[in-house]
A = this chain, B = another copy of it.
Amino acid sequence: MAKNEKKQVAAITSMDEDFAQWYTDIVKKAELIAYTSVKGCMVIRPYGYAIWENIQRILDGMFKETGHENVNMPMFIPESLLQKEKDHVEGFAPEVAWVTHGGSNRLEERLCVRPTSETLFCEHYADIVHSYRDLPKLYNQWVSVVRWEKTTRPFLRSREFLWQEGHTIHATAEEAIAETERMLNVYTKFCEDALAMPVVQGKKTESDKFAGAVSTYAIEALMHDGKALQAGTSHYFGDGFAKAFGIQYTDKDNTLRYAHQTSWGVTTRLIGAIIMTHGDNNGLVLPPAVAPIQVVIVPAAMHKEGVLDKANELYDRLKAAGIRVKLDDSDNSPGWKFAEYEMKGVPVRLEIGPRDIAAGQCVLVTRHNGEKTAVSLETLEDSVQEKLTVVHDGLYAAALENREKRTYQCKTIEEMNDALAHGDGFIEAMWCGDEACEDEVKAQTGAGSRCIPFHQKQLSDTCVCCGKPAKHMVLWGKAY
């Protein structure tokens, strides 16, 4: 170990031993977050926030390509405004933070810190939507929201979290439903192409809908440990909010109609999903599209003449090629650096030393499988881009394999329990549509309904629980 070595890269708990501790070790040791004295709230540190910035940049581009505009609403909602839509307030009032004082004065009406902003958007739409010519409005905002959760875990469930919330308003139900589906597809494409994370698209059951929605769509992903994680949701509201808030427009035929609305969101929870989909016992493994550092250059025998010059030259070349690259020329040992950037999940490590330079090559090591390849310096940019694709594809394939291996088709609750005895996973099973059966399945297996997948299979004719005629195939799982 070099004399000035900053710190030892501490080992993390094995995920097979204690998955929850493995997760906590990664978020701390990869320096994604730090705890604060505000219970349930966290600091997102530079390395964690840089992942979020990449997520934002890519998603924001996809939103804008599909015609959406960003706005900014207040963070406070007066109590009377929150109460305007009955189902909505019932869903959220129990878990909001209330502001009661401004300075030393008690407020006339208390304000909640937004848990979500439907009510604020509705108030605004009532103000600006009058004619069919004002429609649609395709708005989004990037903000934080607050939900007063009792148990919290970094990224997965915290009292404050960062997210984007899209809120759109349309002339017709058809247009609004199409928007709900379009944005679910945007999320799906993003998860697959940027996060290398396969997801199942489906509709939530009645009991699992967003408060105030006609229907809620979701994408569900399966984590390493076989638990399900809801990665994004998209809600169709019909004209329920429009009626509660009096949002009417004059149509082409001069009649007054209520507008139709949607909302959709993803959160910093996606960072949790990345960790639990791709991470391993050496730490984080980041999909290249959102990795703050895509390639780290670690020179060997740094003091030898020409090594640092060559490393700097390669740094400049990769940077010019639009690759997010870091050169670690600190006096820490190569071994320390290997462990550090493995912990941080950097997709590709580039090793270069005197012998490599003499041979006109360097070595590329891919994080997800440790594979080493000597490549010519002449075509370095291409080789690195190729390796980044290899990492992405490898991560996606491994995640898909894990999901397929852990997805069971069951016809009875006994079969479900037998399957889950081998470890958690997704279960595909038929359902009659009765909420009582949904509850009963969860009570007996621990697996709740995740969604009614768009891609339906007719596994049997009868409900997995009551034996009555089945209406849908449901995806069941234990949830984060």
Residues of A within 8 A of B (CB): 4, 6, 34, 36-38, 41-46, 49-50, 52-53, 69-78, 81, 93-104, 111, 113, 120, 123-124, 127-128, 131, 133, 139, 143-144, 146, 148, 159-160, 162
Contacts and interface: CB of A to CB of B under 8 A. Distances in A.
Contact of A146 (B75, B78, B131): B75
13 contacts: A6-B131, A38-B74, A38-B76, A38-B78, A38-B111, A43-B72, A44-B72, A75-B160, A94-B103, A97-B101, A99-B99, A102-B148, A102-B159
Contacts of A103: 93-96, 148
A43 B125 CA distance: 11
A36 B123 contact: yes
A31 B254 CA distance: 26
Given A34-B124, A36-B124, A37-B123, A162 B72 contact: yes
Chief secondary structure at chain A's binding surface: mixed
Given A6-B133, A69-B46, A99-B113, A41 B104 contact: no
B71 A45 contact: yes
A34 B94 contact: no
A125 to B, nearest CB: 10
B98 A99 contact: yes
Nearest to A76: B38
A143 B78 CA distance: 21
Contacts of A159: 102
Given A70-B46, A72-B162, A101-B97, A38 B77 contact: yes
A34 B128 contact: yes
A4 B133 contact: yes
A70 B47 CA distance: 9
Contacts of A99: 97-100, 113
A43 B73 contact: yes
Nearest to A268: B72
Given A124-B43, A148-B102, A49 B72 contact: yes
Given A43-B124, A97-B99, 13 more contacts: A36-B73, A38-B78, A38-B111, A49-B70, A50-B69, A75-B75, A75-B113, A76-B160, A94-B103, A95-B103, A98-B102, A100-B100, A102-B148
A71 B49 contact: yes
Nearest to A100: B100
B44 A81 contact: no
A240 to B, nearest CB: 20
A191 B7 CA distance: 42
A98 B113 CA distance: 11
A128 B34 CA distance: 9
